Amino acid sequence: MAISYSHKFGQIIGDSLEKAIEPHLREFALKNNLYLDIKGKRITRKGTKLTWTDINNNKHDLDFVMEKGGSDHSQGIPVAFIECAWRRYTKHSRNKAQEIQGAIIPLFQKYKSNHPFIGVILAGEFTKNSISQLESLGFSVLFFDYEIIINAFKDIQINAFYDETTSEKKFQKKIEKWESATEVQKKSIYSKIAELNKSNISLFLKSLEKSIVRKVTSIKLLSLFGEDYSFLNIKNLKKFLIDFNPEISKLKFIRFEAIIEYSNGDQIKVDFKNNKDFVEFLEKF
């Protein structure tokens, strides 16, 4: 199969975006006693992919996951799922937004009792609608304008601008320049990308901090008792309700329901049939 230089150059920009944000996420994780997992070797898993399984048993390869109690040797409780995406053209942005949504939301649902932070770091050209779609689902969005990428790559004399008329030969020359650059030069590009968007990075990290460093402000507990009844029609149900006397009914314990409210406005709703399981859940706090 022939090499697609345009695709390869897009990967270079996407990888540069991840490496630009990684030091900031790592610093945040260290500050808050969290484990930051990224693609690469980790003793607790096989291979180099960062993969988590969702509520439907589907596997998703991710960019960044922060864990409480995690280490190189053991997987912790996920407290943040963060994805990165680069798209040159707005015509591809909606599909990418839906792809991210399809990967992260089922993971959020699986770990909803922890109410993990869900974030996405976008660069290039994304429509307002695609960004709004993600924000409406609870994602915190950090956006890097295409001009930031272009200006950062200028530091090593690479013109990162391209469009649908750019030839494969021109892409090849961009890649050759990148591959001839030293690691120090490449790291300077990563730093420049972050520097040119530092105010928005700060806002994103504040949103992350608000989620991670939240405190429990109240717990509402409801204990449910009763019997299970079934009716063939509305008439029978109405008769039952009219005749029902709660004072003489024999009630058995069904379950606990609780709503845990946090200082950042998050709410977690849980229910347990067994009080020991409930206690075990609370020990995570």
Q: What is the pLDDT of residues 222-275, one digit of tens each?
A: 877 777 778 888 888 888 888 877 666 666 777 888 888 877 777 878 788 877
In a shared domain, residues 69 and 138: yes
pLDDT at 129 over 70: yes
Q: Please tell me the predicted confidence (pLDDT) of residue 249.
A: 60
Distance CA(247)–CA(81), nearest Å, equals: 49
- Residues 150 and 258 both lie in one domain: no
Q: What local confidence, expressed as pLDDT, does residue 175 receive?
A: 96
Q: Is the full-model pTM beyond 0.85?
A: no
Residue 123, beta-bridge partner list: 86, 144
25 phi and psi angles, rounded to 5 deg: -70, -35
Predicted confidence at residue 85, as pLDDT, reads: 95
Same domain, 188 and 257: no
pLDDT for residue 107 is more than 90: yes
Determine the average pLDDT of the residues in 208-235: 83
- Among residues 217, 28, 10, 14, the alpha carbon closest in space to that of 140 is found at 28
Q: Show Cβ contacts of residue 270 under 8 Å, excluding neighbours closer than 6 positions.
A: 113, 257, 258, 260, 278, 281
Domain shared by 167 and 277, yes or no:
no
In a shared domain, residues 205 and 221:
no
Average pLDDT, the chain: 90
Which tens digits make up the pLDDT trace of 141-159? 999 999 999 999 999 999 9
How far does Cα 80 stand from its chain's mean position? 6
Say if residue 18 is in the same domain as residue 91. yes
Judged against a pLDDT cut of 60, whether residue 45 lies above it is answered with yes
pLDDT at 269: 83
pLDDT score recorded for residue 248: 60
In this structure, the answer to whether residues 208 and 240 fall within a common structural domain is no
Write the CATH number for 88.
Answer: 3.40.1350.10
Confidence of residue 39 (pLDDT cuts 50, 70, 90): very high
Domain ends where: 212, 241, 263?
Answer: 212
Pair 199, 228 in one domain: no
Q: Is residue 1 pLDDT above 60, yes or no?
A: no
Does 265 lie in the same domain as 245? yes
The answer to whether residues 51 and 78 belong to one domain is yes
Whether residues 120 and 257 fall in one domain: no
Domain that holds residue 274: 216-282
Q: What is the mean pLDDT of residues 215-220?
A: 82
Split at pLDDT 50, 70, 90, the class of 2 is: low
Same domain, 143 and 94: yes
The count of structural domains within the chain is 2
Beta bridge partners of 257: 222, 271
- The predicted structure's pLDDT at residue 250: 66
What does R_g of the chain's alpha carbons equal in angstroms? 25
Q: What's the average model confidence in pLDDT over 78-91?
A: 94
